[in-house]
Amino acid sequence: MDKRTIGFIGLGTMGRPMATNLLKAGYSLVVHSRTRSKADSLLAQGAQWADFPAELAANCDVILTMLPDSPDVWSVVTGERGVLRGVRSGSILVDMSTISPEVARNLAAECERSGVKFLDAPVTGGESGAIAGTLSIMVGGSAETLNEVRPILQCLGSRITHMGGFGAGQTAKLCNQIICGLNILACCEGLAFGAVAGLDLNVLLDAIQGGAASSWMLSNLAPKMLSGDWSPGFRIALQEKDLRLALEYAEQRKLPLIGTAIAHQLFKAAEAAGLSEEGTQSLFKTIRALGGID
């Protein structure tokens, strides 16, 4: 059994089940989150609490972060009480958040100056994948460092892919989010079209799931759209953020992403309607509202 102690920072919708799977695998775990109550279930299972990231890092060999956005990760790693203030030389930091590829490369440079190995390793698979330990993990950084932490990542995901150098994991995740965002929009518009045409949407969904339109989003989110289940497996606010990052990256390279830009604006409209904390399937509410569909 790997005897290394793992630190986990960020215990939200994705982070908490991921940390739980590490405990189930037998790892010693130290956790930190902005809201301590989010750690209650983990502490009850034997995890230790750290009051701030530097304290956590001082007691861990491998640190995993799972946070909402680039500024959050930068602050947790480089801030006054951040990871790099307490980390031991030779430790490994794996950021599993979805952030800017440029920020990931800057974090790698900061870690190198502190004698810390770094990987950017964002995930896809949603809350269900986090709970089941079947996430797909896209990794940027050294292949040698990845091999060092592969047994840990295998507790979290069923597919681990080395994408290239620092930032490559984040770039791959943004590709994933472009496809996800447009797929969610396609599901919403297809169902809205069926609604105005007077079709039974449950019968429609059953019919098209067996054909070329079938997808993970159609199978997992469309039933929630039809049942009015808006609980977040992945939040509207995070999907909007990820599409923003993709568009910023594309703008730097003069790449037009017309469909992505439209999807991004619709997710922003959903945020403006107060849906930020709901699941991405809530985009269906925005599409219905635009079409005057009851």
By annotation, the residues acting in catalysis are: 173
Instruction: Please give the Cα distance from 285 to 78 (Å, whole number).
Output: 39
Residue for token pair 């307490």 = 86
- 135 closest CA partner among 150, 111, 154, 148: 154
Instruction: Please give the Cα distance from 126 to 134 (Å, whole number).
Output: 10
